[in-house]
């Protein structure tokens, strides 16, 4: 598979939409309402955990599949299906999918300190859906090019996390209806990208 600009753009959009720094930034504002002075500290910890998790998935996910003898094309189909189902859940439910933590990660804690890593950073941001998406992207092209694309996509998403949590969330006030609309639009994008990943996996399976 020849890697082109479209693949980079699609991959970046997929990872950014799934990690969703803007809407999650709004949730973050609500969850840290009692501790606004610690938001920078919390965001630093969240960003580190998400970066380690997703960069790790991009770097070793493909090698792990090879070690287990899993066909990359077959995984692309399976991963694309998971991403597609997540997109449908977001599209019709109007909130993050259960694979990304769902409602449980948005419950108001007494203190956010004990929820920074679990369930907020994992799985609300870097959940099974995000990890599967990153590995699927890494496995979607030969000669390590897919891994490079996955790393670029993760880098963009991680860079946007502090922006979404500290800047956008501070000034952007959305109603529940508006948040639902944003999530549904993201779900449509995720569904489309998931289907494209499935088709690429099918093509790779038969070409291999």
In this prediction, residue 22 carries a pLDDT of 81
- The DSSP-derived string for 41-65 is HHHHHHHHHHHHHHHHHHHHHHHHH
Average pLDDT estimate for 173-201: 78
Q: Does residue 178 register a pLDDT over 70?
A: yes
Average pLDDT estimate for 29-58: 92
Residue 44, CB half-sphere, CA atoms under 13 Å: how many? 4
What would the pLDDT profile of 84-138 be if each residue is shown by its tens digit?
887 788 788 766 555 555 555 445 556 788 889 987 898 778 877 788 889 989 9
Average pLDDT estimate for 13-23: 87
Mean pLDDT of the chain: 82
122 in helix, strand or coil? Answer: helix
Cβ proximity of 128 and 99 under 8 Å: yes
Q: Does residue 207 register a pLDDT over 80?
A: no
CB within 8 Å of 58: residues ≥ 6 apart: 134, 135, 137, 138, 147, 150, 151, 153, 154
At 47, the pLDDT band (50, 70, 90 cuts) reads very high
In this prediction, residue 74 carries a pLDDT of 84
Query: Where do the domains of the chain lie?
Result: 5-207
């Amino acid at each position: 598979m020849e890697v082109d600009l479209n693949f980079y753009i699609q991959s970046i959009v997929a990872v950014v939409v799934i990690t969703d720094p803007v809407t999650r930034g709004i949730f973050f504002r609500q969850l840290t309402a009692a501790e606004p002075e610690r938001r920078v500290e919390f965001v630093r910890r969240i960003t580190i955990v998400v970066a380690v998790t997703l960069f790790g998935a991009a770097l070793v996910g493909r090698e792990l599949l090879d070690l287990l003898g899993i066909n990359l094309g077959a995984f692309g189909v399976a991963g694309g299906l998971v991403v597609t189902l997540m997109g449908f859940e977001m599209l019709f439910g109007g909130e993050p999918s259960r694979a990304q933590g769902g409602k449980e990660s948005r419950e108001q804690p007494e203190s956010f300190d004990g929820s920074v890593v679990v369930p907020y950073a994992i799985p609300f941001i870097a959940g099974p859906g995000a990890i599967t998406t990153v590995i699927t992207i890494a496995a979607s092209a030969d000669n390590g090019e897919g891994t490079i694309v996955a790393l670029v996509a993760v880098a963009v998403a991680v860079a946007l996390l502090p922006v979404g949590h500290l800047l956008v969330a501070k000034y952007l006030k959305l109603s529940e209806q508006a948040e639902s609309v944003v999530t549904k639009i993201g779900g449509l994008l995720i569904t489309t990208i998931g289907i494209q990943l499935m088709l690429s996996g099918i093509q790779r399976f038969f070409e291999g």
